[in-house]
Amino acid sequence: MDTIFRHVRKQLNAEWHRISAESIESIAKQGLNLTHGKLVVNIAEKGPLKSSEAAELLGITNGAVTGIVDKLIQLGYVERRRSEEDRRIVMLHITQRAHGLICEIDRVRDKIMLKLFRNLTEEEIEFAIRLFKKLANNLESDFQS
């Protein structure tokens, strides 16, 4: 199972790069990968985040987040701002420019999902959704214990 899971993940990453290279603003040409996209989307969905929170959400180290954030800042998608409640804390915010990137990421994700599930029946898709929810719950329960 591990082998096939890794194979599917590798194919998803390759598909991300292929489709994003064809996109209007060309996500891949900007040097952005799935992790960059996930961070921007997470900030948009959850609101401003501390770097440590971003690292936890992405499952990477704080050091890795720094490099990703630096790239996103360079491209104008993210900015660091001091917390108004505690000036010692630096929060990650998306910029207005990031909204266009988020729309583009959503288009790429939609294309990948349509391709991934294109030959499945409605019942198989419903089963896959139930299975992925169970898998996610299994992992989440470990964090809550």
Q: Does the domain made of 2-119 have the CATH classification 3.20.20.70?
A: no
Task: Give 1-19 pLDDT, tens digit per residue.
Answer: 889 889 998 998 888 778 8
- The residue ranges of every structural domain in the chain are 2-119
Residue 26 has pLDDT above 70, yes or no: no
How far apart, in whole angstroms, are the C-alpha atoms of residue 30 and residue 20?
A: 10
- Report the interhelical angle of 2-22 vs 98-117 (nearest 10°): 130
Task: Give 29-45 pLDDT, tens digit per residue.
Answer: 777 887 898 899 999 99
Q: What is the pTM of this model?
A: 0.72
- Please tell me the total number of residues recorded for the chain in this structure: 145
How far apart, in whole angstroms, are the C-alpha atoms of residue 120 and residue 59?
A: 30
Task: Give 77-117 pLDDT, tens digit per residue.
Answer: 999 999 888 889 999 999 999 998 898 888 888 999 999 99
Starting at the edge strand found earlier in the chain, the sheet holding 49-50 runs 49-50, 90-94, 78-82
